[in-house]
Amino acid sequence: VHLVESGGGWVQPGGSLRLSCAASGGTFSPFRMGWFRQVAGREREYVASITWVGGSRYYADSLKGRFVISKDNGKNMVFLEMNSLKPEDTAVYHCGQRATVEVNEYTSWGPGTQVIVSV
């Protein structure tokens, strides 16, 4: 599976962005898809995830209420709506897949899309 993120860019504090993650390369049926973010020099941070069948959503506690994860099974895409953005949301955002319920590990990372929040 090949994942590619898009939709990043520069936005002022308080603004919004919608990130997309497109999957390609064979049969795509993960257990869950997730968004993570990473700032240079820091560990990758969990943002949100969604189960592929059923659509249950999970969020990092610090981001609840501002970020919304969604998906389009027909298009093999996952989205992240980010609202009320803050400078501390600046990071490279990656999507990854958790293939099975048995293995709590995300793989097949995309190259990421840069989000910059500043005046």
| Alpha-carbon 102 to chain mean position | 21
At residue 91, the pLDDT reads 98
Q: What percent of the chain has pLDDT over 90?
A: 85
25 Cβ contact list (under 8 Å, min separation 6)? 1, 2
> What are 53-71's pLDDT values in tens digits?
999 999 999 998 999 999 9
At residue 26, the pLDDT reads 78
Contact 7, 115 (CB under 8 A): no
Q: Which one-letter amino acid corresponds to residue 54? A: G
Tokens found for residue 61: 């506690």
**Residue bearing tokens 């999957």:** 23
Query: Can you say whether the dihedral through the CA atoms of 10, 12, 38, 104 is positive or negative?
Result: negative
> What are 18-33's pLDDT values in tens digits?
999 999 987 888 999 9
- For the chain, the average pLDDT equals 95
At residue 103, the pLDDT reads 86
Identify any residues that bridge with 97 across adjacent strands, giving them in sequence order. 33, 107
